[in-house]
Every structure is written in structure tokens, then in C-alpha cells.
Amino acid sequence: MTLDLYSVSVMTAAVVLIVGIIYISETLIRRDEVSGRHWSIAFLAGILTTIAYAIWAAGGGWIAVAAGNAAFVAATGFIWIGCRSYNGHRIGWAYGTVGVGMAVAFIAVVVEGPQGGDWAGVVWMYAALAVLASFGVWETARGRLAQTRTTIALAIVLVIEALYTAARALVFLLRGPDDPVFQAWFSTVPASFVTITLVITAAIVTSILRAGRAGMRGYTNLVAVDGSDRILTEPQFRATVTDVLERAEEKGIGVGVIAMRIDDLPFIAKAFGNEVGRHVAVAARDAVRRTVEPLAVIGDDGATVLWVCDTSWDASEARRQASRLATAVFEALRTVPDAVVPVVGIGVAVTHDFGYGAGALIDAADAASTRSAKTGDISVLIAEPPRSNPPASVGPDAPTSAPAGS
């Protein structure tokens, strides 16, 4: 059976449209977080891409090609931005990067105009896609995304996109669009089947990822999100810790971050009811607030992780603080009626080992808390620094330990 270009374009548009509408509808139903909204924008851009290309296949002209190329770049770019926001990294400059890629893809077609034909500006679009997909691969290999096996599938999707688009660009430049090799492997028809496969895989993976961090509306607050308990949201916490670390580095003061993870929280809510799940979350948060030093900074990710940032000269002092926290949380959870005590993972990272970068410190504590949770009980695990990076100094005159909150 031979498929003509228009039929394949319509088929691709239908698949992307159905998947995109389902994903965006789920975003509207969920109390979703920033990463989920960025991924929804990516699927919306994908819908616009397929519509533009379908118009082009029906004889719509070069304007449809320009719009489709720019939207295609946006789709890949917002997948990457969603990964950055999932990891809690800054995304301001990422918007600019994606915007530049979209502009390049659009202008490249406009410059060639009607004389450019069906493949006008395509090399510039391929280059932008390869770069943004590569950025996405890098983002999946670090931070929170690196802590879940589900991310492997998303990384594979982005690797395939980066390599395939780079190969399309090279073959196009070396052999041209009429070459039999390009027609067999890189023309619109085979590329459409690759696109369908990648879109479906990406939708499934990102849905699983965001399902672990955002509850359904009506399953609203296992944890407070209105700031009534004075626990910072994730962006507020990261911004505050960044400021604390900058000032601490100037004075040679050590700082530690403790991450407490309760991955069983959503399952408790489903098994015993939202009210019981809320009591478990509130008990844990109250125990943290009562136990840590008055000047410690406390934040959460709105789902299953609480962070504490406080002065800590070395890992031993941080472990003592975390152990006190673990004991207090365990005792608090035992008092919650009609609920089992969940598995709590506690990870610790200190500037002596990871330096004064807020992202590196928080990510290291998160990774340690994930490993701690796998032990099956409430335990404290100290994050080990990468062997390639020497420990950061906390000042030549700094003592080896100091009381918490000093």
C-alpha cells in the first residue's frame, strides 16, 4: 500500500490532535504545576504544527510552511522547558532560547519566499530541533528527572529526535531532497511515522511524571498551598536558599539542606481517604516546623517533599539535625488515627561537599532522600559528593562543627 503525502499529513494531524486534546484537557482537570503546563503548551504547539502542515499539503503555500516550522520548534522547546521546571531550574533564559529558535525557523522560510518550495528553511528548523532536543536530553539526566526510571523513555524520545533531525539535515545538505536515501528515510512520509511514535510516547511519559506531582482537583490539599503554615513554595524556597547561600559563602559559613520525602502520601489518601492523607501531611509538616531551628528555611514541592535549609558546618552536624527531625516526624505520624506510618526518606547535602549552588545542593539532598526512601524505614542518608568535584571550602578559619542555627 502506498500512502500519499496528504493522507499521511492528515493521519499525523489526527493522531497529534487527539493526543494533544486529551493531554490539555487533563491539564485543565488537574491542579497542575508549572512543568505540566509547559508540556501542555508543547502539545498545543504540536497541534498547530500538524494543522499548518496539513494546510501546506493541501496547497496552502509557504506561509503555512513557515508557521509549521516555527510551531514545531516551539513544541520541542517547551518539552525542554517543562523538564527544566520539573527539576526546579530557572527557565527565564530558556524562553528566550526557544523564541530565538522559532524566529530563525520562521524567518528562514520568509527569506526564501515562494521560490523556496516545500523545503524552504528546513535546515535551520532541523538545527533548532536538534539543539533543543539535546538540551532536553541533558535536562532529563539530572535533578529530579534523573531519579525516576520513567524519565528514561522521555530521554530516549528526545535522543531519537535529536539524532533523526540532525541526520535529516546532513542528508538534505549532502544529497538533496530528491535523493533516494532521503526519500526513503527522511522525507515527510517516514518522518510522520516517527513523529506519531514520539508524540504518543512523550504524552504517556510526561503524564506519568506529572501525575506523581499534581493531584486532581477535589483531591486538593494533602499539603497546604496557601502559605498558612509559613512553609515556602518550591520557587520561593529555591530563591530564598540562593540568597542565603550567597551571603553564607561571603562569610565562609557552612549550610546544609535536608530533604524529607513521603512518597506514600498519595497512596495513603487513596487507600484511607483524603482526610486521613491530609492529617498525615499536616502532622509531618507540623513536626518539621516544631523541630527545626527558628531561623531555618522550610519549603515544599506541593506534593511529597519537604526541605529544610540551615547552617551546618559539616555532614556530621547535618546528620544530627536530620536525625532529630526523623525522630520527631516518626512520633508525629504514629499519632495520626486510622493511618499507617508511611515510608519516609531523609537526605542531607552540605556546602562542604557540594559548594554554594542552590540547585546542586537541593538536587543532591533530593537524590539522597530518594535512596533513603527505598530502605523501607525512616532513615537518614548523607549525599556523597561527585568524585570529580573537590569539596567546597567553608573558609580557612571555619570550625569543623557548630550548633544548628548558630
Give domain limits for the chain.
Answer: 5-211, 234-382
Q: Check: CB of residue 321 under 8 Å from CB of residue 260.
A: no
What is the radius of gyration, based on Cα positions, of the chain?
A: 25
Give the CATH architecture of domain 5-211. Answer: Up-down Bundle (1.20)
Q: State the Cα–Cα distance between residues 179 and 185, nearest whole angstrom.
A: 10
Predicted local distance difference test score (pLDDT) of residue 219: 33
Q: Check: CB of residue 309 under 8 Å from CB of residue 239.
A: no
Question: Grid cell 541526520 — which residue?
Answer: 167
Q: Please list the pLDDT of the chain residue by residue as tens digits (406 residues).
A: 566 666 777 777 788 888 888 887 776 666 556 788 889 899 999 889 888 888 887 777 889 999 999 999 999 999 999 999 888 787 889 999 999 999 999 999 999 988 877 788 999 999 999 999 999 999 999 877 887 778 899 999 999 999 999 999 999 999 998 899 998 898 888 888 888 888 888 888 888 777 655 543 333 344 444 444 578 888 888 889 999 999 999 888 899 999 998 877 777 777 777 777 778 888 888 889 888 888 889 998 777 788 999 987 677 888 888 888 888 988 888 888 766 778 888 999 999 889 999 988 998 998 899 888 887 666 788 888 876 544 443 333 333 333 333 2
Look up the pTM and report it. 0.64
The CA-to-CA distance between both ends of the chain, in Å, stands at 76
Q: Check: CB of residue 201 under 8 Å from CB of residue 290.
A: no
Q: What fold does the segment set 234-382 form as a domain?
A: Alpha-Beta Plaits (3.30.70)
Report the DSSP pairing between strands 305-311 and 297-300.
antiparallel
